[in-house]
Structure 1
């Protein structure tokens, strides 16, 4: 336990890296998911087919394999591009490789989450809003998006919980996140069990905080719609 206390400052830095990795990955995954859902529900066969191929392939590839492909393949691609442009060697950091890989993976899951939420919205409400003169951005802002958020929140929360746990995989490419630091500290102190138990407690705490926040958001978006009835 004394060794664990001694490494607390380093572990806290690892927690910050893990949380930053998760939040930035979620941001880009949300963007990928929104674009993917727009492509899936569009009437353009090419766009819909391309997104379907993306979601099918990504959901069938293990996270670790895709992470390694992005890190080592991306490193080579960047250096080939830099060489072509007459620039020096370029280094892809483990952090941003992790962001790209995780965002790309969970963007596929969020694509289906957003698509399912959109299809849950009663079409009659959209037609009623159009009959009242709402079009374009006003229609989406006042009718579509509030209901989309409501229907998507449970699935979005589940994707976030899994995404947070997936950040642990990035330690294999040298990222000094919570898992990476705990692994090295456990080896140095020869007390890996204590350090991994600390990691477990931190992830459980993040999960608890996340669940509490998402439940509050679900209540927030459910109340106005319930009153509207």
Structure 2
């Protein structure tokens, strides 16, 4: 038996099949249809299905899928082994909650700092006792570059540069890179330091589209030995949630 895991975001839908904890296959769609999903499932026998969405699900494929496979909808009521102390759990982003569940499931009994780099950068912390209290949200890498351009009259729109490693810029373009990328680097280090200052054992888990870029920013820091890159952390968290559901 396999688990079907579906994560519906604002721009893309990610679909994965797991055999227990093993990720067998994953695909990303902009607007999937039921034929694509059924082709993706192929000959796999689906035991459990979980859907997580940042929006109300109205797509036609969803109705067809529900007719064929029993579905569990991921929400803040699914504990999946963690103690959620968030004051307004109904407003907690499903992706953030799934990532924290995934971190605790993959690396139990140790403190985990979960950093996801996408449209926004999210920082979440779960302690060794599986207690989650909350985190932080800040503008993402591309959003910062875009803001510098859109909210000024003369500054250009430039792209991130993973090879940039200067303490300051000596022209306008490099000054923007320094401000944006060093700003994120110092932000990463500051948040991590704040979370782990009382911890003897911890992980820094990087996820999301900018995880490799963040790893580059931190490669020479004191935190480098503690970094683990988990590009499919949300999907793994959803899989953990469906496995623990009704256990």
Larger Rg: 1
Structure with more contact order per residue of length (Cα contacts < 8 Å, sep ≥ 6): 1
Q: Fold match, TM over 0.5?
A: no
- Greater fraction of residues in helix: 1
**TM-score, normalised by the number of residues in structure 1:** 0.29
**TM-score, normalised by the number of residues in structure 2:** 0.28
